[in-house]
Structure 1
Amino acid sequence: MRTSASLDQFDIKILVHLQREGRCSNVDLAAAINLSESPCLLRTKRLQETGVIRGYRAEIALEKLGSHVIVFSEVTISSHRPQDFRKFEAGVEKYHEIVECYNVSGGYDYLLKVIAPNIAYFQALMERLLKDDIGIEKFSSRIVLRKPLEQRGSPLRIIATGKPDWDSHGP
């Protein structure tokens, strides 16, 4: 796989634009980044082939589909052997309601992001996880009340260059 050092400014511009406008045509993408169409298409294909671009997704307005809650759960597992981590991860992977799972440092082992239709459903899910015996010692959950800031993408330029852009945004 290519490293960040092998991405130039046009590659980064392509990624930034596609992150915002994933459905744009190659013509629109080329115009947006000020590059001719053929090299733009070749670069985009290369970014896909090397795995830098993993795919394209639709951003869904969940509130339009129905009521839901977002819950972050901090999970501590009872044992910390490699097979215990694998067992837990395989166990949570079975549940589509668990949309993100992070193995973290600090006072607990995992942070789960769960989206459920309601609190009762979430509680039943957690009881099911405990019943599955995947190594959960304890968990603590935080229900999201509102989302005052939604990051619509990763800070690609900062990650690719390793340089902050604080001067353009203030302190």
Structure 2
Amino acid sequence: MGKTPRKLDRTDLKILSLLQTEGRITNLKLAEKVGLSPSPCLERVKRLEAAGYINRYSAEIDLDLLCRNVLVFAEVTLKNQRGEDYERFETVIAKIPEIIEAYSIGGGYDYLLKFVCGDVRDYQILSEKMINSDVGIDKFFSHIVIKPVKAYRGMPLAHLIDKDTNPSVILS
């Protein structure tokens, strides 16, 4: 059964914005930053979790400190455009740990995949296995990331939700 979203106020949005960038913030600090006392703040966080607005908490790992790695985006087009072809492809890629994100895309290709591999050679071996497998790939274009320019730092909640926000002001 689907969850019915409840109307969120500005305090809820502040809580969500802070938690997505500071997941380890204490309830006391969170309450201070959003202008609540600790108990009502904790109640709001629990309600947001129960309502499904907060899916999980995680840590952002600096992979460059741990090991050598390469980040690659791949555009994939399938040979056939039937539902079972999409399902088969999605089932296979869900099992490949090096694919860290995957999106079904409308437009010039079917999927955008984000890979992280040890190096370009590892990526080449993996991509060749995928292309040569019976997963239905027609076209496979790779884009190796030279350097990240802007990393993900959370959803821009104020700009997405506040209808008075004008994105063109940012670009002026």
Q: How does 1:128-167 map to 2 (within 5 A)?
A: 128-166=129-167
Q: Are 2:99 and 2:113, in contact at CA under 8 Å, matched by a contact in 1?
A: yes
- 1:50 is aligned to 51
One-letter amino acid of the counterpart of residue 42, structure 1:
E
Q: Are 1:91 and 1:132, in contact at CA under 8 Å, matched by a contact in 2?
A: no
Q: Distance in 1 between matches of 2:81 and 2:19?
A: 39
One-letter amino acid of the counterpart of residue 126, structure 2:
L
Q: Distance in 2 between matches of 1:74 and 1:170?
A: 29
Cα deviation, residue 148, structure 1 = 1.8
Q: Distance in 2 between matches of 1:165 and 1:59?
A: 30
Taking a change above 3 Å as real, the CA distance of residues 89 and 115 of structure 1, as seen in their structure-2 partners, is same
One-letter amino acid of the counterpart of residue 102, structure 2:
C
Taking a change above 3 Å as real, the CA distance of residues 108 and 29 of structure 1, as seen in their structure-2 partners, is same
Q: How does 1:1-171 map to 2 (within 5 A)?
A: 1-3=3-5, 6-166=7-167, 169=170, 171=172
Q: Distance in 1 between matches of 2:161 and 2:122?
A: 40
Q: Are 2:131 and 2:140, in contact at CA under 8 Å, matched by a contact in 1?
A: no
Tell me the secondary structure at the aligned position of residue 149 of structure 1. Answer: coil
The CA RMSD measured in Å over matched residues stands at 1.6
Give the aligned length: 170
Per-residue CA deviations over 1:18-75 (Å, capped at 9, x if unaligned) read 1111001111110111111111111101111111100111111111011111000000
One-letter amino acid of the counterpart of residue 18, structure 1:
L
Tell me the secondary structure at the aligned position of residue 33 of structure 2. Answer: helix
5+ residue gaps, structure 2, are: none
Q: Distance in 1 between matches of 2:165 and 2:141?
A: 34
Q: Are 1:84 and 1:135, in contact at CA under 8 Å, matched by a contact in 2?
A: yes
Per-residue CA deviations over 1:100-127 (Å, capped at 9, x if unaligned) read 0010111110000000010110011112
Structure 1 segments, 4+ long, off by >3 Å, are: 165-170
Cα deviation, residue 167, structure 1 = 7.4
Q: Distance in 1 between matches of 2:4 and 2:161?
A: 12
Q: Distance in 2 between matches of 1:97 and 1:149?
A: 21
Q: Distance in 1 between matches of 2:14 and 2:166?
A: 15
Q: Distance in 1 between matches of 2:16 and 2:166?
A: 17
Q: TM-score, normalised by structure 2?
A: 0.92
Tell me the secondary structure at the aligned position of residue 128 of structure 2. Answer: helix
5+ residue gaps, structure 1, are: none
Tell me the secondary structure at the aligned position of residue 7 of structure 1. Answer: coil
Taking a change above 3 Å as real, the CA distance of residues 165 and 43 of structure 1, as seen in their structure-2 partners, is farther
Q: Are 1:97 and 1:114, in contact at CA under 8 Å, matched by a contact in 2?
A: yes
